[in-house]
Structure formats: structure tokens, C-alpha cells
Structure 1
């Protein structure tokens, strides 16, 4: 069992800490210390050399590998618009370092699922995949902790899947990279590069549907050619859409559902995909993630990341670690929720007047944590005018940059102990295409875009229910819909929170 599996540390200086069996790759002035499972690729002797930490996929080029893609990036970087457009088209889980005229630029994948933390208090720039690895390497000054405030908060106690906004960390002197931003080392400041243009309303629904289908399907094909894939399936929309587009490759994959928390084999998230797959002669596996981890596993898990969710995500990771999927590439369905109107599920837009209301509608527990409130205020003051100018919804952007860029990214970081993850929806061009569609195509109750793609690629799979609701859930949903229709739902939420 390895410490800091799939993680990395980057510095120009020799660190005081050591991690056994880590590799060392040199990129210009930087040494990149990394676990064997963390892919490192780079160009050399080009005008703008590029370092890739992780993996990258170009859905428009079926046979391009990591090296091919970063070579294109290096060639396109001089023309910023061409570079940004190409970057938007890419999928994967990665951090890029680009040697610029004035220093270095660091950019993450669309949702920054490959986490990138960097120091702001020491003379020489240092960065890594987690606060914990920076601390282990001796580049964080002692006593600089927000962890005590955060760990002991009511918000953390009340939320088993608690998270901080992107940009923050548990240390005062450490920041994290925010999705759609780049970090320039000469300024030690993050700069937003997306969105750059007004969101175009997609008038041709069928064309948009075809674009989304092709991009996701070809991403899956490339990943299947490159890696030994595992595929977690549930009764949800995101998994069903991926399942329909991955149908031709399912026999190559290890398909499974997690049994965790209070789920049992009759729970819909297990019983529905099991029946769907078995009825169609595909093997379905159940991974038990309810067993207590060993002391050794717990110690390494809690050392790997700060903060961590050992009492929930850690128990699940333990089940993954001791299963057949360990060391496979996991094909995961997250990030699609960005386009599924998560904070306004009926599709009816909600006007958010200020940062306090934004917190009220998203993570009201953050209100007790001043350092988080200040971060959200800063983010809102910059992002909201841009959303209004370019036609994006601030709640969609919040979900993208903070829910996916922190909550989901943290989950994937913690589960690096057991698996690497590829998320086909983690693609800026794809998400922009989906967000450009009217909300009636991507909201409750029908999720027409999803249903139509599934129907065109595996119609029979729609014979099995998707996210079926209990009677109580149906009544609650009807009541919510009625209140939303007359504009009272948002008023009640604001009063309660």
C-alpha cells in the first residue's frame, strides 16, 4: 500500500521531505517528484515547452496519445485564441505547465479534477496534488492552519460530504487552482480565461445532440483503447447515457455497482443496473464497500489528503482498494450535472442578487465560516458580472467551479489510493454545448437531451427505470413543482436558509 499514490510534488529546490519510491522528472528548472502511477509527459526544445501531469484525451483525434496532444498545445500556445479553443476541446484529468516568456503557466482540466495546490508564502514556487504532500515535503510553515476552524465547524459535523470553495485550502499559505483559471508564476495570481465569448443559444437541438453524442462516444473509445477500464453504473441519468454510448465496449470493461452506506442488493441503484445488464448478457458485479478498513489503510488514507472524509469516502475507497478494479481506469459519470440545472431542477432560472444569497441557495452551512464567506464574496464579485454579460447562469458556474472543482475533485483525490478516473463529461466544449441548449432539454422531469441520446444508441435500456422515486419523493416533487411554478419555492428556500 503506497503513500501518496498517483500524487506529485513540484519544486525548483531540493525538498526536505522524502517519499520512498517516488520518481523524479526534470522539466526546465522544476523537479517533479511523482508516484509511478502518476503519468508525466513533456516536450523539449520547443518555443513553449509543455509538461503534462496526468493524462489528456482529444476526442477529435482518435489515435493521438499524451505526447501528440501536448505537442499540439506547444505549437498552438503562441496564438492564444487558437490555444484556448484547442484546450476547450480536451478531456482527461490533468495539470499542464507551460513555459512562457515571463515564467510558467499552470492550467488544469475543465473541472480541475486533478487537484493543484501551490504555496504563496515562500520565496520559491512549490506545488503539489494535495496540501498533505506539500506539508510532507516541508514547504508549509507550522501553525498556518484553517483546519481546526473548518474541522470543528457545525457545517462539517452536519455534512458528511463537506467541501470548501475552489481556491481555498486548509492552510492560509496554500491556494488551490480554480477551474477555468490559469496560474501565472511570475505574478502568483490566478487569471480567468473562460468564459471568453457570449453563450450561444443552440437553435438546432438535433445538431447539438449529435455533437454531444459524438464527443462522449469518441472519448470513451479512446479511453477504452488506451486503458483497462472499469465502469460504475447506477440507476441515474449520467450513468445510463454513458452506458448507452459505451455499449460496443462493455465486454472489455469491468462493470460494477458499489454497495455502500445503507444500500442493499434490492436498492434501485443496485437492482436496476443489475437487471439491465444481466438481461442483455453483460456481467454485473457488486463491490462491497461497507467493511471496516485496517489501521494501516486508515493511516495512509488520512496522511494522503487534508482534509479527508475517511468515515465515508474512506470506507468506500477501502472496498475499491480490495476489489478487482484496483489499478484500472474508472469511467465515471460526474460533471454532467453542471448542465442539468442542479440548483434549479425544474429549469426555471433563479435570480441571485448577491454572494450571501448564493451561499443560501447552495451551501448555507458556509455562513458560519468567515474565511469561506470572504472567498465566495470575492468569486461572486468577479464571476457574476461576467455571467450577466455573456449569458451564463451564476448557479451553473458555481456548480462547475466549486461543486465539481472542489467536492468532486477532492473525492477523486482521496480515491487515488484505489483508482485513476476518466470523466468523459469533463470537457469544456461539451459542457458549453449542453449549457447552450434551452433548459427544457436538460431539466426535470424528462431530461430530454439524455433520453434522446440513450434512445438513439440503446433504446432497449430505457425499458429499465431511471432514478425511480418513492411515493414520498413523488409527493415532495409534485409539491416543489407547484410552488416553483408560482414562484414560491425560491422564496421559501430563502426564508428557511
Structure 2
């Protein structure tokens, strides 16, 4: 059941199981929903008080927030001005109406029902020209009256709009792997210990590097949980994601389980349709989330999304900056509409006008891949009550990694450096290796990767429209 809290002239409704802390100071108020810790001081019980003691404007709150890590939403009131600020990657999604009635929610279906909205034909065209598991571009939804807040933005309630803030007004000085590793190690330790003080942790493990970095930090901070791997129908006994995790956990003597996908019932799908809207989410993601929920029970799980997207530039590698165009980013959205390209141009123009100097490829990974694509996953996990966390979710960590050369990051050198310093024995077991010659060629350099991205895009585009045509033909013949 939701709990309702008064915040100035508004009400905030939150679920009863997630922490909510609030503090007032004369004409100012601050509230925090979720889990947050100051990575510099390790404080976590009095963050709203600290914000009001140290901040007298939303700009100062934004500056303070960069020291926080976790999964949370901050509500801030200064006199009669109201603001909402999410965590570094908006892992709790925030949807809002950019005009008319002030309404904000972590699922846009709630706003749809409250305002009795119908989808916009232009935005529906974008949605229908890509798989439902892929993200919409920039901050739009299929409703003209609803937008989604993306990372590096706060919501100005009084003016009903998302406002971009700048992380770096000058080009970042390139730093070494060693320097970056030394800067983030103590910060990730603080967040890891904080999570383990609240939850029993289960760690999903694959044959890759991201999950192994997570495991390294858990082991270095008194890990008391277990590891698991999901065996999907397409896996066999020789699949690297099946073989390597078993060998790894056996070597380091960590409890491990291999679990199989569960089936979704009609009742479960109907319930999610009611919560998120029919056709608004990936049933495959829901199936995986349910599988994890049934296996993990009340444990929290730690994912490795951020270090994959930013720590090793998995989406862009070292493509030259001049190719950071709407056309290229549309490839990475896996969307086949011209309207998506138009929205990406608006997004790029906003970045240029703001003066933000963080690498545009990294901003796409943070704001679109994590802020929207991963947020869709978070939305499903949140909806079924599975705690889904990330030990890298802090701007103080992320924007250290963006200062490292992408040529070094793409080689997973940040991963290797972190594992070596936290649990070096994990390096004794080999990681996955590329089995496809095409994948190996695409990773040779940035130009090869760029060309392969476009080639893959146009092949998938043909398959997408061919599938759509078949579906239409089948429907007409019934």
C-alpha cells in the first residue's frame, strides 16, 4: 500500500517498503526517497538535513548530489520553488507532464490514467519503428503530454520542464587507468558496504568482465551472499556464460546456482499490463525479472550496467568524435524512423547549447542507454518488488571514467585494474572470448566498429520491416 507525505503544497505517494526521509528548515524542505549514501563522508542517515545545511539553491543541490551514490529521488523546495532530482542514471524512472496539471510518477501509465491521455501519432510512429525493448529517443514518450527525465537533468516543477545541468564546462583532462582506479576504489567500497549493511546480496555472474568487477568488490567487502547464472533456452552446456561462472565460483568457493527461466502466467502479464500499460514493456525482461525474484527472494541483486556502458565504452568503443551524429545514435537506438533522428538532433543541440564538454558518446551511454533503456528494466524490477542495484551509480564515479581515453577503456583496462586491486585471484579464470570473426574485425578500431554498426543496423532494418509485413499479412488473413 502507498504512503502519502505532505511536501509543501504537494503530496508525495511512495510505497511503504522503501525508505523516505524528510527535513524542514525555515522556508526550505528536502526529502529523499530510496537508498543513498555520501561516498565522501559515508553518511546516509541525514542526507536531507545535510542538503539544507549546505545548499541554498537547486544549483548547489546538484553540486552536492554528485557526491552521492545509490538509487534514489531527491525532492527540494526553496521558498515556493520546487525541484526533483534523480540519481546519476535515473535508476528510479521519473515521468512528468510538461504542461497543465503538475503530475509526476515513476510509471507514465499512472499519468495516462490520471489525465486520460491518448498516444500522439508522430511519437507512436517512432515507437512502432523499433522493438519495444528498445528506448525512445531523448526524453519523449508516445504521449505528447508526458516526458521522461533523463540523467544530467532536474525537473523544475514550477515551470514543468526538465533542465539540463553541466558536469564539465571545459574539456576533461585525460587521466591514466591507474589514476582513475585509485580515485574510484574508495567510493565504490563505500557504496558496496552500504548496500551490504542493508540487504543480503545475490550477484549475477556471467563470463564477462562487468559482473566480475562487481564480484571483486563484494568479496573485498565481506560478501555474505551467493552468485547465480540464468540458463536461457538458447544456452547449452558449452555456452561460455554457463561454463565460466561455474568454474569461477568453484575456484573461489562462493555459493553458486544455475537457474532456468520461469514461465509467465496470464495473471502476471495482466497485472503488469495494468501497471505499465499493455505493449509498453518487454515480456522477456519481465520473465527474467520474475526468474530472479523467485530465486533471490528478498535479496537484492547488483548489476554491472554502468561499468559496461562507460567503463569499457561497450556501445561506441573508440569511434572518432566527428561521427557522433543523429544518424549514428539512431543506429544505437535500433529505431528505423526519421522522427527518431529528429529527436536525437534536438538532444545534441541541447548539449551544445548547454556548453557541456563531456564526450558525447559517453553522454549517450549515460542519458539514453542507462537513463532510458536500463530504466525500462528498472521499472519492471521495481514493479515486481525486486531490489535491483548498482555499485557504480554515482556521478563522482562515472565522470572519472569519462576522463580516461576510450582507446584504453575499450580494452577493459579499467575492469582489469579494479579486479586486480580488489580480488586479484578472479583474474586467474579467463574471461569470455569472441567466437565470431565478424565481431573480432569490428573491434579492431573505431572506423571498423562504426562501419559494422551501420551494416548491422541496415540488415536489422530489412529484417524488421520484413517481419512487420508478415505480421500484417497474417493478421489480414485471419
TM-score category by the smaller chain? 0.7 to 0.9
Q: Which runs of 5+ in 1 are unaligned?
A: 1-20
Determine the structure 2 residue equivalent to 1:215. 187
Query: How do 1:98-113 and structure 2 match up within 5 A?
Result: 98-113=76-91
1:363 aligns with 2:333: yes
SS at the partner of 1:302?
A: helix
Q: 1:152 to 1:103 in 2, by over 3 A?
A: closer
SS at the partner of 2:214?
A: helix
Q: 2:426 aligns with which of 461, 467, 484?
A: 461
Q: 1:41 to 1:276 in 2, by over 3 A?
A: same
Q: Distance in 1 between matches of 2:146 and 2:84?
A: 15
Once the two structures are superposed, residues 329-367 of structure 1 have per-residue CA deviations (whole angstroms, 9 ceiling, x without a partner) of 22221112123223332x35341364234324x225242
Q: Distance in 1 between matches of 2:284 and 2:175?
A: 43
SS at the partner of 1:190?
A: strand
Query: How do 1:64-213 and structure 2 match up within 5 A?
Result: 64-65=43-44, 67-78=45-56, 82-122=60-100, 124-135=101-112, 138-145=113-120, 149=124, 153-156=128-131, 161-203=133-175, 205-213=177-185
Once the two structures are superposed, residues 250-284 of structure 1 have per-residue CA deviations (whole angstroms, 9 ceiling, x without a partner) of 64123222223523454222321222112221101
Q: CA deviation at 1:161?
A: 2.6
Q: 1:240 to 1:115 in 2, by over 3 A?
A: same
Query: How do 1:34-49 and structure 2 match up within 5 A?
Result: 34-49=14-29
Q: 1:148 to 1:297 in 2, by over 3 A?
A: farther
Q: 1:351 aligns with which of 322, 326, 329?
A: 322
Tell whether the 8 Å contact from 2:203 to 2:301 is kept in structure 1 after alignment: yes
Determine the structure 2 residue equivalent to 1:18. none
Q: Distance in 1 between matches of 2:359 and 2:416?
A: 23
Q: 2:214 aligns with which of 242, 245, 250?
A: 242
Q: 1:204 to 1:488 in 2, by over 3 A?
A: closer
Q: CA deviation at 1:145?
A: 4.5
Q: Distance in 1 between matches of 2:265 and 2:321?
A: 46
Q: Distance in 2 between matches of 1:464 and 1:280?
A: 10
Tell whether the 8 Å contact from 1:59 to 1:215 is kept in structure 2 after alignment: yes
Tell whether the 8 Å contact from 2:97 to 2:145 is kept in structure 1 after alignment: yes
Name whichever of 257-266 and 296-305 sits farther off.
257-266
Q: 1:493 to 1:167 in 2, by over 3 A?
A: closer
Q: 1:109 to 1:47 in 2, by over 3 A?
A: same
Q: Distance in 2 between matches of 1:353 and 1:109?
A: 26
SS at the partner of 2:313?
A: coil
1:449 aligns with 2:421: no
Determine the structure 2 residue equivalent to 1:437. 404
Tell whether the 8 Å contact from 2:177 to 2:413 is kept in structure 1 after alignment: no
Determine the structure 2 residue equivalent to 1:411. 377
SS at the partner of 1:26?
A: strand
Once the two structures are superposed, residues 291-326 of structure 1 have per-residue CA deviations (whole angstroms, 9 ceiling, x without a partner) of 321122111122222453343112112212322x13
Determine the structure 2 residue equivalent to 1:300. 271
Matched length: 454
Q: Distance in 2 between matches of 1:411 and 1:254?
A: 22
Q: CA deviation at 1:407?
A: 0.4
Q: Distance in 2 between matches of 1:230 and 1:481?
A: 32
Once the two structures are superposed, residues 79-109 of structure 1 have per-residue CA deviations (whole angstroms, 9 ceiling, x without a partner) of 6665433211211111111002342011111
Q: CA deviation at 1:183?
A: 1.3
Tell whether the 8 Å contact from 2:319 to 2:449 is kept in structure 1 after alignment: no
Once the two structures are superposed, residues 381-404 of structure 1 have per-residue CA deviations (whole angstroms, 9 ceiling, x without a partner) of 121465xx6542212111110111
Q: 1:331 aligns with which of 284, 290, 302?
A: 302
Q: TM-score, normalised by structure 2?
A: 0.87
Tell whether the 8 Å contact from 1:332 to 1:421 is kept in structure 2 after alignment: yes
Tell whether the 8 Å contact from 2:71 to 2:389 is kept in structure 1 after alignment: yes
Determine the structure 2 residue equivalent to 1:428. 395
Q: Distance in 1 between matches of 2:47 and 2:386?
A: 23
1:395 aligns with 2:361: yes
Q: CA deviation at 1:226?
A: 2.0
Q: Distance in 2 between matches of 1:353 and 1:76?
A: 38
Tell whether the 8 Å contact from 1:308 to 1:414 is kept in structure 2 after alignment: no
Tell whether the 8 Å contact from 1:384 to 1:394 is kept in structure 2 after alignment: no
